[in-house]
Amino acid sequence: MTEPESLLSACRRFPAMDTNTQPDEIELIRLADLTQSISVRLRSTEPTLETPAVRHYDAEAVVTSGFVNGTVHLGFDSEDLSDWGRLLDAIEEAEQEADLDEPFTADWPRSGRTAYLRFIAEDPYVVEVHDGTSTQIVVSVPLDMGEEWIAESRERLAAARAALGVGAEDHPGARP
């Protein structure tokens, strides 16, 4: 591998942190290529609302690109963490099935309650940020993500679970 190819590989494996991210913020989701990214950052590790079965958290979806930059409030609950883990599993399965007529598409968190991400497993991947409950604006970002993005996403999910005190064992079907 030549030096430029090696550098390109390293940049894809470890994309630069968004310059707006503070050192103490937790990125639950970071989907990025060399020029643009979409992330979901927790605003606090303390729940905004807690019931005996579910904790609700404040976060923000952040789009960073050379064309558009924006942030929108995104709320999720502890069950949505399990949904994100299951979504990663489903994407991985869809990638292994090369004969799909339609690309795998899924929303996270469930649409209708808050802003949400729509993930479309195409080449390149497309992630849409929907602010459906407020402005009705949708931003669509194509991302040429590296091969390790699912493993990295699982690591971020595990770190977020640990920071929030929500264990994978509390949610059937979730990977640790």
Question: Are the C-beta atoms of residues 175 and 89 closer than 8 Å to each other?
Answer: yes
- pLDDT at 133 (0 to 100): 76
Q: In terms of residues, how long is the chain?
A: 176
- pLDDT at 65 (0 to 100): 95
- pLDDT at 19 (0 to 100): 41
- pLDDT at 101 (0 to 100): 74
- pLDDT at 31 (0 to 100): 96
- pLDDT at 95 (0 to 100): 80
Instruction: Round to whole Å and give the CA distance between 37 and 17.
Output: 9
- pLDDT at 130 (0 to 100): 94
- pLDDT at 23 (0 to 100): 43
- pLDDT at 146 (0 to 100): 86
- pLDDT at 13 (0 to 100): 39
With vertex at residue 90, the alpha carbon angle to CA 16 and CA 103, rounded to the nearest 5 degrees, is 85
Question: Are the C-beta atoms of residues 64 and 40 closer than 8 Å to each other?
Answer: no
- pLDDT at 49 (0 to 100): 80
- pLDDT at 24 (0 to 100): 57
Predicted model pTM: 0.78
**Ranges under pLDDT 50 in the chain:** 1-23, 169-176
Q: Determine the number of helices (DSSP H) and then strands (DSSP E) in the chain.
A: 3, 9
